Amino acid sequence: MPRPTNVSLQTLRVLAQLLKRRNDWHYGYALARETGLQSGTLYPILIRLAEQGWLETKWTEADRPGVPPRHTYRLTNTGARAAAERIDSRPQPLSMVRARTISI
């Protein structure tokens, strides 16, 4: 049985990035650059999300000869709903609450 999905800040970062282009396939390397996460943090998150059924994965052939296929990731419908719920229900950082209070 897969372990429950971790909702760490790093996982939320990955989910938010995947939601930006919900129907696109994403390369791990691009996700690492976009989220600022190291591969040792990112790939375990991607594996866990795939095991939970939140991501679908596939190998994509390269456009150029001699370049190996790459693993790509995309949110499933279940994953997109769960990601949006987790992101929306996450408490805002104290600095954001303070910024809103001051600007009123």
Domain boundary assignment for the chain: 9-103
- Residue 36: name the closest of 14, 5, 52 by CA: 14
Sign of the alpha-carbon torsion through 73, 76, 78, 82: positive
Give the whole-angstrom CA distance, residue 32 versus residue 85. 23
pLDDT in tens, 45-82: 999 999 999 999 999 888 888 888 889 999 999 999 99
Q: Which pTM does this prediction carry? A: 0.77
Separation in Å, CA 103 to CA 33, 54, 90, 92, 95 = 33, 37, 22, 16, 12
Give the sign of the dihedral formed by CA 13, CA 18, CA 53, CA 51: negative
- Residues 75, 55 contacting (CB under 8 angstroms): yes
User: Looking at the domain that runs over 9-103, which CATH code has it been given?
Assistant: 1.10.10.10
Report pLDDT for 4: 52
Locate all alpha helices (DSSP H) within 2-93, ordered by sequence: 9-20, 28-35, 39-51, 77-89
